[in-house]
Structure 1
Amino acid sequence: MDIKTLHDADIIGISTAKSAFDTLATAFGQHIESWQHDVVDRLGHSEWTGTAAGHANTRISNLGTELQSAKQELGLVSRALQDAYDGFAAAQAHLISALDDAKTHKLTVAADGGITWDKDPNSPNFAGNDAENQAKQIQSRITAALNEADHADQTINTRLGHLATNASNGTGLDSATAKADTDAANALEQVPAAGTDPNSVKAWWNGLTDEQQHRMILNHPDQIGNLDGIPAVARNDANQINLARGKQDIQRQLDGLGPAPATTIGSGRFIRPNPAYTDWQQKHDDLTDKMTGIKAIEARLNTKVDDQHPPTFLLGFDTNGHGHAIIAVNNPDTANNVSTYVPGTGARLGSINSDINRSDLMVASANTANRQAGDKSTTSSITWVGYDAPQSIIPEAADDTYAKNAEDKLVSFENGLHATHDGKIGNNTILAHSYGTTTVGYAMRDHGLPVDNAVLIASPGAGVENAKDLRIDPSHVYAAQSPADAIGWAAATDPSGMGDNIWDNIKSDWGFGDGDHHLMYGRQTTAPQFGANVMPVDPNAGHSDYWNAGSPTLTAMGQVIAGKPMQ
């Protein structure tokens, strides 16, 4: 598709053809009604019997089915033509808008899409100092419009070609074929259910024209934004809508709380806490916490893109429970290296800002590793708060139900990254902190994850005794835990594990221990017996200090994410 073809396209002809097929389908339907009334019904009320009558009735019945199937197929042609009109109209409108803006900015667009402008400040046609930037933006819009038209052309051509083949060889008269074609057309207008295989979702999405995709985003943002298998850009567009709606809803609920009730009720010796205030305070704190997270996401999405602040994509968002958000620094569909970061206890919408910051730091660290190796590869780091994480150390983090409930969600998300990526992901890493390592470990142990590396930071146990049980090459499993990190006191809860740890501590105190140790959810991941690559740490680092400036662990994270040797 070129600029002139799209600009001059007479798309009204498509609408006219659609109307003609509507007329044909209506007339055909009337003929079917006449056939039913004048032939089928009358024959049914006749007294004709015998072998010949039986054969005739069977053929007439079959013919009725064929007529109904043909009517369905005609209707599908009409629907395909309508989608074609919508798709080409949208692409044409986007092209014309871009060309009009080019004129406004005194830019000249050539037939091949090249853009030139007058650079003389003294000329009446001077395009201004920002001309180059404007030209890049407009050229990008023109390319997008042409691609949009190409996509619509290919998609509609496939649909019409299929229906034309059915008409020419008679398969369209088969009721099963007509039903399958109708189901396929209906499926284009229905969002796949949550949990659908991401590869099937991607195939469905690719079968839509750009205009249909746009309508899906506008009409079903809550489904599109959180559906694995939808490309990152589309998920981000949908979740921007979800974010705005979520903010409005949270503010409405805050306004609806009204002023705080009295903290106590009664008087004198009978003063006691006011249950109404307690309830108000809990609701107020929860809503305020979610609003904090929403504003943090807004701020990061709206941060001007530069070398220190790569673009971000909102891949998931809702305010259910403690709230969830999935945010990618750089586009994971186009980055060479992709890492998913799963935080642990306390992770929720309200605390998302610190987790996004960690993704920024990991991308910067990976970029440094690449530059030092003379590698121009790009990296995306995704903060995945797509599960209900425990919010307290005791009792919630002592319960592995949170990890178990997250397994299917994490597996689906990781499969979705592969389904939507442009080609094969160069180096794919799953990286987790604290209880997040238990969540990741359970998913890898029970289902396997399509990753190249697993990085376990400050783990209370990954649910396995050995790195090989994570179902990837154990030489690609990495672990870090500072001796000053209190997670090392997350003692095993089973009696044998507690006894083993006590004996291990005694041996270590006397200098003949072997370093084996069990924590709450399995063997300590930095123990030699676990079999992971132990990452360097600051010996004084606390539980949340692995991302601090100058941290050797952060440097190592970047090296692993970039696919470079850990130094």
Structure 2
Amino acid sequence: MRRYARTLVAVALATTVMAGTAGWASGTTQQALTGPPPGAAAWRADHVLGRELPDPERTTPAEVNRFFLGLTAAQQQTLVVRHPLVVGNLDGVPVALRYRANARSLRAAHDPRYAHLTEAEAGAEARPGAKAEAGDRGRDSGSAAAGDRQILAFDPRGRGQVAEVFGDLSTARHVAVVVPGSDIDAGTFDRTSDVYGTPAGMAKALHAKTGRGSAVVAWAGYTTPVGVGVDAATGSLAAAGADRLTRFADGLAADGVPAPAVFCHSYGSVVCGLAAHRLRATDLVVLGSPGMRADTVADLHTTARVWAAKDATDWIDNVPHVEVAGIGHGPDPTGPGFGARRVPAHDAHGHTGYFAPGTDSLRAFASIARGEAR
């Protein structure tokens, strides 16, 4: 009876949204960031090495990696200096070079003396007001510029996107990637409130639990929904995010990084569900999931092991787990008919408590990340 009631709610919701009468604020609707890294036009036009540079939009991550490995150290540094936004965000570029380029971009975002470094790249592609927005994103991500943080991606466009590594990707035997859900961007990536609801907080906790020999990437590399609205109930942002996530994983593979276990929180599990059939991963772990846009694990068409966690106090349990007319994301992955391996979450609390230290869910996540769980 409860399932039937939820289906009726979903049908009513889909009807009102499709009719344009839903009471959700249209001002929260987001435009997905797609395409090549910022500065691609200037990169394509640059013949400083006496040859064409790989097209950021058409070249595969494996081809990008081969190109950079064929350069001298001086040539690599030339590209880091001239095009930090491209080098820092281009999947397939060796990880160490991406760190170096993003450190430079972050300095440019915070110090007016370096402003020309990013303006020269992005200016030709910027829409009105984009430079001001980029500056805002740089200020929002001020903590990311501090110290020796390993920033694997920093894209200041729109609300801003960031990826950070905890641990050493060059030596890690086990790697994990955390994919966050709604309301995450450069400004909320590592906020001090609700720490374990942020990608940085989740990744730090997981890395601390998995220990030496592991690395965890906090990946806020797609445009997330804002609030509870049409974006959160539909799959368009997730589809764009799935493309970016699969290319990101291909870039890690091209640089010799082991296939990761991917942890997908909330709306991030929709991203992972749409990416599953082409995502290079050992495990897919969804937590607080509204659905994966699949009816069963078999429908994901993945060789990765699929795990699911949901605690009894998570409000996501009140979301109708159906999909009607493109609204909703399908069955609950923790349901018995879905076929995922169940992750214990008895002492997790709420929608963002799964990575809290001392919880059974975090212990299980660490076991999965280390390849020990069965």
For residue 88 of structure 2, the aligned residue among 217, 225, 229 is 225
Instruction: Compute the displacement of 1:295 (Å).
Output: 1.7
Change (3 A) 1:208 1:244: same
2:137–2:157 Cα contact (<8 Å) kept: no
Q: Which residue of 1 aligns with 2:169?
A: 332
Q: Which residue of 1 aligns with 2:312?
A: 483
Structure 1, residues 220-253: CA drift from partner, whole Å, max 9, x if none?
Answer: 111111111111110010011111112347x99x
2:270 is aligned with 1:438: yes
Structure 1, residues 117-139: CA drift from partner, whole Å, max 9, x if none?
Answer: xxxxxxxxxxxxxxxxxxxxxxx
Counterpart Cα distance in 2 of 1:361 and 1:198: 29
Output aligned runs, 1:513-528, within 5 Å. 520-528=328-336
1:362–1:557 Cα contact (<8 Å) kept: yes
In structure 2, runs of 5+ residues without a counterpart are: 1-46, 116-130, 191-197
SS of the aligned residue for 1:522 comes to coil
For residue 216 of structure 1, the aligned residue among 71, 79, 82 is 79
1:246–1:318 Cα contact (<8 Å) kept: no
Instruction: Compute the displacement of 1:538 (Å).
Output: 2.8
Instruction: Compute the displacement of 1:338 (Å).
Output: 1.1
2:104 is aligned with 1:296: no
Change (3 A) 1:351 1:526: same
Identity %: 27
Q: Which residue of 2 aligns with 1:381?
A: 216
SS of the aligned residue for 1:350 comes to coil
SS of the aligned residue for 1:327 comes to strand
Q: Which residue of 1 aligns with 2:241?
A: 406
Look up the equivalent residue of 1:216 and give its one-letter code: L
Counterpart Cα distance in 1 of 2:356 and 2:58: 37
Look up the equivalent residue of 2:314 and give its one-letter code: D
Instruction: Compute the displacement of 1:357 (Å).
Output: 2.2
Moved over 6 A (4+): 286-289
For residue 468 of structure 1, the aligned residue among 298, 302, 319 is 298
Look up the equivalent residue of 2:156 and give its one-letter code: T
Instruction: Provide the TM-score with structure 1 as the length reference.
Output: 0.50
Q: Which residue of 1 aligns with 2:206?
A: 362
2:177–2:219 Cα contact (<8 Å) kept: yes
Max Rg structure: 1
Look up the equivalent residue of 1:243 and give its one-letter code: L
2:348–2:359 Cα contact (<8 Å) kept: no
Counterpart Cα distance in 1 of 2:72 and 2:325: 60
2:186 is aligned with 1:349: yes
Change (3 A) 1:222 1:540: closer
Instruction: Compute the displacement of 1:214 (Å).
Output: 0.9
Structure 1, residues 63-86: CA drift from partner, whole Å, max 9, x if none?
Answer: xxxxxxxxxxxxxxxxxxxxxxxx
Structure 1, residues 369-391: CA drift from partner, whole Å, max 9, x if none?
Answer: xxxxxxxx611111111111111
Counterpart Cα distance in 2 of 1:244 and 1:225: 13
Look up the equivalent residue of 1:227 and give its one-letter code: L
Look up the equivalent residue of 1:480 and give its one-letter code: A
Instruction: Compute the displacement of 1:528 (Å).
Output: 1.0
1:336–1:379 Cα contact (<8 Å) kept: yes
Q: Which residue of 2 aligns with 1:543?
A: 351
2:119 is aligned with 1:238: no
Counterpart Cα distance in 2 of 1:364 and 1:245: 31
1:231–1:333 Cα contact (<8 Å) kept: no
2:323–2:329 Cα contact (<8 Å) kept: no
For residue 459 of structure 1, the aligned residue among 289, 303, 319 is 289
SS of the aligned residue for 1:393 comes to coil
2:322–2:331 Cα contact (<8 Å) kept: no
Counterpart Cα distance in 1 of 2:145 and 2:346: 33
For residue 315 of structure 1, the aligned residue among 152, 162, 166 is 152
Q: How many residues align?
A: 305
Structure 1, residues 502-539: CA drift from partner, whole Å, max 9, x if none?
Answer: xxxxxxxxxxxxxxxxx930110101111111101135
In structure 1, runs of 5+ residues without a counterpart are: 1-182, 253-282, 304-311, 368-376, 498-518
Counterpart Cα distance in 2 of 1:195 and 1:342: 25
Counterpart Cα distance in 1 of 2:255 and 2:363: 29
Greater RCO, 1 or 2 (C-alpha within 8 Å, sep 6+) = 2
Structure 1, residues 296-335: CA drift from partner, whole Å, max 9, x if none?
Answer: 2123xx16xxxxxxxx421111211110111111232331
For residue 65 of structure 2, the aligned residue among 191, 202, 217 is 202
- Name which of structure 1's ranges 392-401 and 460-469 shifts more when overlaid on structure 2: 392-401
Flag the structure with higher helix content: 1
SS of the aligned residue for 2:270 comes to helix
Counterpart Cα distance in 2 of 1:454 and 1:213: 35
Counterpart Cα distance in 1 of 2:136 and 2:67: 37
Output aligned runs, 1:15-54, within 5 Å. none
2:190 is aligned with 1:190: no
Structure 1, residues 8-62: CA drift from partner, whole Å, max 9, x if none?
Answer: xxxxxxxxxxxxxxxxxxxxxxxxxxxxxxxxxxxxxxxxxxxxxxxxxxxxxxx
Output aligned runs, 1:167-178, within 5 Å. none
Change (3 A) 1:351 1:292: farther
Counterpart Cα distance in 2 of 1:540 and 1:330: 25
Look up the equivalent residue of 2:361 and give its one-letter code: T
2:348–2:356 Cα contact (<8 Å) kept: no
Look up the equivalent residue of 1:463 and give its one-letter code: R
Instruction: Compute the displacement of 1:495 (Å).
Output: 6.1
Counterpart Cα distance in 1 of 2:324 and 2:155: 41
Counterpart Cα distance in 2 of 1:384 and 1:339: 10
Look up the equivalent residue of 1:483 and give its one-letter code: A
SS of the aligned residue for 2:337 comes to helix
Structure 1, residues 91-144: CA drift from partner, whole Å, max 9, x if none?
Answer: xxxxxxxxxxxxxxxxxxxxxxxxxxxxxxxxxxxxxxxxxxxxxxxxxxxxxx
Change (3 A) 1:481 1:288: farther
